[in-house]
Amino acid sequence: MNAVPVNYYIILSAILFTIGALGVLIRRNALVIFMSIELMLNAANLALVAFSSANAQLDGQIFVFFIMTVAAAEVAVGLALIVAVFRTKKSIDVDQINVLKG
Amino acid sequence: MFDTTMIMAILPEILMLILGLLVLVFDLIWKKRDGRDLGWLTAGGLLFILIVTAAIARPAESTLVFGGMIRYDMMSYVFKLLFIFGSMMTSFFMMDIEQLGKRGEAYILLLVATIGMSLMASSADLIMLYLAIETTSIPMYVLAGFMRDDEKSTEAGFKYLLFGAMSSTIMLYGFSLIFGFTGTTALTAITDFTLPLAVGIIFLMMVGIAFKISLAPLHFWAPDVYEGAPTPITGYLSTASKAAGFAVLLRLFLGLFPETSPYAPTWTMIMAVLATITMTLGNAVALSQTNIKRMLAYSSIAHAGYALVGVVSLSELGVGSVTFYLIAYVMTNLAAFGVIAAFSRVAGSDEISDYAGMSRRNPTLALVALVAFLSLTGMPPFGGFVAKVFVFAAAVKADMIWLAVIGVLNSIIGVYYYLTVLKVIYLHRMEGENEEAHPIPITRPYAIALTVLSFAILAIGIVFGPWFNIASSVAEGLF
């Protein structure tokens, strides 16, 4: 059986990471920015799993479990804060979130 | 298999977790309370933890415990004490803040963040390090946005979360590459780090750390978050959280790229440039601020730059001086934010112009402000002066005289805006010149915390020998 070379996974994860980073920088909707951050996290997850199988080590896979847990916690807090912001401003467009500046 | 070393290595974390659970339980069962009880419980508990940890958890030698996850050495010991102290002072400041001091959740979040910081300073594995950083960050996001009905606070929390999540993810990608190229997540197992992508990995990891310690060009979140977050939380964010970032910086870079590594000149040069930009930008922008929390945010950016000078010199003296700098800076900045919290509680304003006549409205509070701001300026006999001397001395010793010169020039810029605040406090009068009619009463928790901090600033500045010995013992463990 021919395994997929590890390079392919790494290139895919680099592409995913770049798409995520661009999404964070370009999109203005807070929810879409959050989804982009999740994409970046999953790029790191993919890289860890691929490296883990290439190195024949389980550390990377265990790392991924922890990252998924942390990501869930982060999203819970993030969505709560988005709701709090929406209640005071009636918008989740990051360009409107600009009371603090200077 | 547990032995005493393992328990001792995480003793402060265990005790803080127990304290957090106690706060949680008492929050439920204490129905009739005057509002400060939970604060006193937290502060008293942290004092107990501080004393117990200082007395019995001092490591005799550097060891790895929990399968190489946690390091038990002088560095983790000293930084843990610093975080517990900072957390205790913060809980004093939180007690009398409306919407914050009466809520049990606030104290639990504070304690969990402190546990995270303690683990940040002692983790020896990439998995542990990432988890510790997130354990610190997530409660801090909530605390920054704690005032749900306040537009500024929710915005601060949201911005902190957005930038924090983004930068920690970038650092995580760096971690995944380290694991890929070395095949291990244990930092101690990575000895010869000569990889094709090393410079790229340095940059990825630096993003995460630069965010934590608010280095330029990743400092832009700091003024917004510092202004919007509740003042005691701002104080905690600018001191303990930053010190934890420095602890990780020292561990990661001195561990992965020590003096002998071919990448040492590369990363020290990047850091030296970043330190220069950070100091100059922080000081220059602080000059034009009218809001005192924003001004202190830029000042704390500048202070991260000064402390980084010690890291750059990559020597035992350098690491010792950074640790000393952080100890002095934590005391000083906590005192400064304590004064601001005490003032804005009564006066309801953070504008520098509203501090006019404060020396007549409350002379004692003005005196603490004087001590804190002169220490931030770097005036003898206060802690900030000695700390700056050590950091710049380390730079000169490492043949980086130009960096020390830039640092000194920047401190001179700093004098201007710190003394402007003191001028407004001491020389300006309130409108109508009837300061006696508008006193600023200080409640007991503030009085206790500010007294302790003022004496600590003086003690560090005058009797600096013992403090520097502690800081040097941290450095010895790393080389």
Kindly report, residue by residue over B231-269, the tens digit of the pLDDT.
Answer: 999 999 999 999 999 999 998 888 888 888 888 888 889
Distance, CA of B440 to CA of B432 (rounded, Å)? 17
Please report the pLDDT score of residue A93 as a whole number.
Answer: 86
Does position A1 have pLDDT exceeding 60, yes or no?
Answer: no
Mutate to test the interface with B, among A25, A41, A63, A66 (most CBs of B within 10 A): A63
Q: What is the CA radius of gyration of chain B?
A: 21
Please report the pLDDT score of residue B436 as a whole number.
Answer: 82
Distance, CA of A81 to CA of B361 (rounded, Å)? 38
How many residue pairs bridge chain A and chain B with CB atoms within 8 Å of each other?
Answer: 131
B169 touches chain A (CB under 8 A): yes
Please report the pLDDT score of residue A102 as a whole number.
Answer: 61
Please report the pLDDT score of residue B319 as a whole number.
Answer: 93
Please report the pLDDT score of residue B195 as a whole number.
Answer: 67
DSSP B189: G
Do B169 and A59 make contact, defined as CB atoms within 8 angstroms?
no
Please report the pLDDT score of residue B29 as a whole number.
Answer: 87
- How far is CA A51 from its chain centroid? 19
* Percentage above 70 pLDDT, chain B: 98
Does position B35 have pLDDT exceeding 80, yes or no?
Answer: no
State the average pLDDT for chain B: 91
Does position A33 have pLDDT exceeding 80, yes or no?
Answer: yes
What tokens appear for B197 in the block? 């992508």
Does position A68 have pLDDT exceeding 90, yes or no?
Answer: yes
Residues of B in contact with A24 (CB under 8 A): 166
Stated pTM of the model: 0.95
Q: Closest residue of B to A54, CA-based?
A: B180
Rounded to the nearest angstrom, the minimum Cα separation between B380 and chain A is 32
Whether the bond into B232 is cis, omega within 30 of 0 = no
Please report the pLDDT score of residue B406 as a whole number.
Answer: 94
Please report the pLDDT score of residue B199 as a whole number.
Answer: 83
Does position B61 have pLDDT exceeding 90, yes or no?
Answer: no
For residues B401 and B329, the answer to whether their CB atoms sit within 8 Å is: no
Across the range A83-97, mean pLDDT stands at 86
For residues B395 and B315, the answer to whether their CB atoms sit within 8 Å is: no
Does position B101 have pLDDT exceeding 90, yes or no?
Answer: no
Please report which confidence band the pLDDT of residue A99 belongs to, taking 50, 70 and 90 as the band edges: confident
Please report the pLDDT score of residue B33 as a whole number.
Answer: 67
Please report which confidence band the pLDDT of residue B1 belongs to, taking 50, 70 and 90 as the band edges: low
Instruction: Go through the domains of chain A in sequence order and give each one's CATH number.
Output: 6-89 (1.10.287.3510)
Across the range B94-118, mean pLDDT stands at 91
3-state secondary structure string across B56-104 = HCCCCCCEEECCCCEEECHHHHHHHHHHHHHHHHHHHHHCCCCCCCCCH
Q: Closest residue of A to B150, CA-based?
A: A88
Per residue in B316-346, pLDDT (tens digit) is 899 999 999 999 999 999 999 999 999 999 9
Across the range B345-370, mean pLDDT stands at 91
Across the range A11-40, mean pLDDT stands at 94
**Of the given ranges (A56-65, A89-98, B140-149), which has the lowest mean pLDDT?**
A89-98
Across the range B161-171, mean pLDDT stands at 93
Q: Closest residue of A to B166, CA-based?
A: A37
Please report which confidence band the pLDDT of residue B32 belongs to, taking 50, 70 and 90 as the band edges: low
* Class of residue B393 by CB neighbours under 10 A (exposed 0-12, middle 13-18, buried 19+): middle
For chain A positions 16-75, those within 8 Å of chain B (CB to CB) are 17, 20-21, 24, 30, 33-34, 37, 40-41, 43-44, 47-48, 50-52, 54-55, 57, 59-60, 62-63, 66-67, 70, 73-74
Across the range B352-367, mean pLDDT stands at 91
Please report which confidence band the pLDDT of residue B99 belongs to, taking 50, 70 and 90 as the band edges: confident
Please report which confidence band the pLDDT of residue A2 belongs to, taking 50, 70 and 90 as the band edges: low
Across the range A31-50, mean pLDDT stands at 94
Per residue in B397-451, pLDDT (tens digit) is 998 999 999 999 999 999 999 999 999 999 998 888 888 888 888 999 999 999 9
Please report which confidence band the pLDDT of residue B40 belongs to, taking 50, 70 and 90 as the band edges: very high
Please report the pLDDT score of residue B2 as a whole number.
Answer: 66
Does position B191 have pLDDT exceeding 80, yes or no?
Answer: no
Does position A20 have pLDDT exceeding 80, yes or no?
Answer: yes
Other Cβ atoms within 10 Å of B462 Cβ, number: 13
Does position B222 have pLDDT exceeding 70, yes or no?
Answer: yes
